[in-house]
Structure 1
Amino acid sequence: MLELDSESHSNQSSETGSQAGTACVKSCDESVPSRDGDRKQNGKMNGGTAKKTRGAKPKPHESKLYDNLVPAYQALWPAVARRRILHNVNSLNIAAGTKVLEVGVGTGLSLDAYPRHADITGVDLSESMLSEAEDLIEQRGWDHISVQPMNAEKLTFEDASFDLVTSFHTISVVSHPERMMRELVRVCRPGGKILVINHFRSPNPLIARVVDSAGSLTRHLGWRTDLNVDELLNELPIQVMRCQKSNPLSLFRVLIAERKA
């Protein structure tokens, strides 16, 4: 149901930065916090888009850091990475009826990249960010999109549930990136596509050492700089179609893979 656009290998944005995606910041063995009866007072959350009561204060995320980052995230995100995401999603030529899962959807600022003729599900562990995504979905009238809280390292969907699985600037903020990557592959159908945009450790030893030196600081901010893409993809049932930077100066790589049978 998806095709790769041959032009997706060129003319990409060189903006840098990172999304404070929060699909999972704790071990996947920890459960998603209670939501007062699945938010019966505020509308549906699990299995659809909740209608948030205006003025109601959303429950805090397990990490208060990300709740506090929501305003800055919304202000900085368009300038940091949005154009790169729009370009790469558009390059996939998503067909009508395609079932798409975005893991680490955050406040939903990448959701307008998807065509209205697709069926979009977004998941994130931060309910504060999902609350903002719900408002955006309601404001735009996006009846083809729903969001729900979920742990990226332990997705509750059945195997092979989606035609396309995406994740942007999220896998480097989870506790166990390899578990998250296995989950992305598991819920993707054979022949389906996986699109990940993220910072990965440079294969250049000098650059890698320089970036690694900032690791102690970035870990306090919730993300890691030493994620090795080869180790992440090791022994997974996928065929990597593309894994490269949009340009030599970019900090991020675009990974496009196809799930094998």
Structure 2
Amino acid sequence: MMNPDPKQTHFTKKRYNTTSIIYNLMEWPVEQLWYKKWRRKLWQNIHGPTVLEIGVGTGKNIPYYPKNVELTGIDLSPGMLKRAKKLLPKSINDSVTLREMDAQQMEFPDDTFDEVVATFVFCSVPDPILGLKEALRVTKPGGRLHLLEHMKPEASFLTSIMETLDTPIHYLSGVHIARQTVSNVEKAGWDIDKVRDLTATGIFKKIEATKPH
């Protein structure tokens, strides 16, 4: 497997460390309008018993973590993780572990987790296919991948606009807005079970996939 590009990884880590203090404020409008309800519904279908969350960020999914699962969360940015750890209730501290780690080069053995979850993460992983291959590696055969993602819509008037804005937005925030995440999931070796548009624009999608036996 290819190694991640250290320069791109450092750039992304630096951007998220810089924005970690104001990250929740930056995303407040979309979080209140859409993200919060999508997160809640997604986590209602996570049963584990072993679960990996890739890209914990500031801990926006923590309120929705299911009980009776062993959950490990990782994030590239120590600044983001610091905020997330403050949100962990004492009641679930024993069942949740948060670690600083690169999604492109995880420190877990093969076939570790029953389910993997990521919400709006693979827009910023420097090499998304590499990250999705790593997610596949650490998932048990027959295990599930659950994603909420924003991406470039197909055959839309927004497509060319997003392609034009992708580079400057990535430079400022570390986020790509014109990725083709459904295709990336397939290229990484997952079997896609379901893709559902969450808005009429085709930008926001829920993706469910399975690791082949």
| TM superposition score category, shorter chain reference | 0.7 to 0.9
User: Which of these residues, 144, 150, 154, is aligned with residue 95 of structure 2?
Assistant: 144
TM-score by length of structure 2 reads 0.85
Partner Cα separation in structure 2 for residue 85 and residue 250 of structure 1: 18
Q: Which has the larger radius of gyration?
A: 1
- Within the alignment, does 1:254 sit opposite 2:202 as a pair? no
* Correspondence 1:7-156 to 2 at 5 A: 28-30=4-6, 62-63=13-14, 65-75=15-25, 76-77=27-28, 78-79=31-32, 81-90=35-44, 92-94=45-47, 98-137=49-88, 141-156=92-107
Give how far 1:244 is off. 2.3
Deviating 4+ runs (over 4 angstroms): 138-141
Gaps of 5+ in 2: none
Question: 1:177 — aligned with what?
Answer: 128
CA contact (8 A) 1:28 1:151 kept: no
Give how far 1:72 is off. 2.3
TM-score by length of structure 1 reads 0.70
User: Which of these residues, 153, 178, 185, is aligned with residue 233 of structure 1?
Assistant: 185
Residue identity (%):
21
* Correspondence 1:199-218 to 2 at 5 A: 199-218=150-169
Gaps of 5+ in 1: 1-26, 34-60
Give how far 1:139 is off. 5.4
CA contact (8 A) 1:105 1:123 kept: yes
Going from structure 1 to structure 2, the CA distance change for 1:259 and 1:241 (only over 3 Å counts) comes to same
Structure with more relative contact order (C-alpha pairs < 8 Å, separation 6 or more): 1
Structure in which a larger fraction of residues adopt helix:
2
What is the one-letter code of the residue matched to 2:120? H
Partner Cα separation in structure 2 for residue 104 and residue 87 of structure 1: 18
CA contact (8 A) 2:116 2:146 kept: yes
